[in-house]
Amino acid sequence: MQSSFNWEFLSDDNGAYTDFKEKMTYGDYLQLESLLNSQKRLSDHHDEMLFIVIHQVSELWLKLMIHEIESATTAIKQDEFQTAFKMLARVSKIQSQIIQAWDVLSTLTPSEYMEFRGYLGNASGFQSYQYRLVEFVLGYKTPHILKIYEKNPVLHQRLKAAFEAPGLYDVSIQALAKQGFPINQLVLSRDFSKEYIQDSTVADAWLAVYRDTESYWDLYQLAEKLVDIEDWFQQWRFRHMKTVERIIGHKTGTGGTSGVGYLKKVLDHYFFPELWEIRTKL
């Protein structure tokens, strides 16, 4: 019986390229050989592959988040709000993907994880430098974190630069000042390596924006984009905490933290506190 599958049709008549001896392929462009050979299990346990892939995928999404947030920060500085809004909207969509990754990881049971957990040593997501970069570009600065990366001078310098630079919220506050709102000068000229502290002049400015959205439409949209990001970030933190609790309970983390206790504590942190405070006042 003659096969109905016509290879010649697929390779020629439909115009698809089949000769890549001198051309770049999809795999070449994405460097798939390197990417797909980066999952090196330390144990023979089947589920360690899941553990590695979930964390690697999350790191790729974090890389894109940093790329978008840094570019959005620059755009806001230059009063290019529409450009920034597109980037920040993309960040929120990325966050939804990272949150769903916890759903996949939560299929790992405590018994399965304990079969290979000992192979991890002190390696922990707590040490993720990209996660720290996301915190830094969003404005959450914790100085003791930098010590973790001292063994890599290039990486340490990159983190230090982000640590000392104004974050996304800082340039948003500067945008308020540019629009004529009387922002406390100590806030505008503050040491950006210090954790941001709420300020009444910033709260008053955002409140005025929300009470007159037509006059301050760009600032209003900016505020809502920031709230979107913080909302998704808190949902990510919560899913992280619950997934860890589901898999290891209240054991100490491999990185030496209190595990679930540490993750619960950071749930109380706000990147953009005034934007949440004013909701009660509206």
Q: For residue range 136-159, what is the model confidence (pLDDT) as tens digits?
A: 999 998 888 898 899 999 999 999
54 is in an annotated binding site: yes
83 is in an annotated binding site: no
Q: How many beta carbons lie within 10 A of that of residue 278, not counting itself?
A: 20
240 is in an annotated binding site: yes
Q: What is the pLDDT at residue 97?
A: 96
Cα 249 to its chain centre, rounded Å, is 25
Contacts 24+ apart (CB under 8 A), 151-159: 155/129, 158/133, 159/129, 159/132, 159/133
55 is in an annotated binding site: yes
Question: Whole-prediction pTM value?
Answer: 0.89
216 is in an annotated binding site: no
45 is in an annotated binding site: no
SS3 (DSSP) at 170:
helix
Q: What is the pLDDT of residues 9-51, one digit of tens each?
A: 445 556 777 777 778 999 999 999 999 999 999 999 999 999 9
144 is in an annotated binding site: no
> Would you identify the CATH topology of the domain 47-281?
Methane Monooxygenase Hydroxylase; Chain G, domain 1 (1.20.58)
Q: Give the separation between CA 247 and CA 233, rounded to whole angstroms.
A: 21
For the chain, residues classed under CATH 1.20.58.480 are 47-281
Contacts 24+ apart (CB under 8 A), 202-208: 202/173, 202/176, 202/274, 203/274, 203/277, 203/278, 205/176, 205/181, 206/176, 206/274, 206/275, 206/278, 207/278, 207/281, 207/282, 208/181
| 118: DSSP letter | G
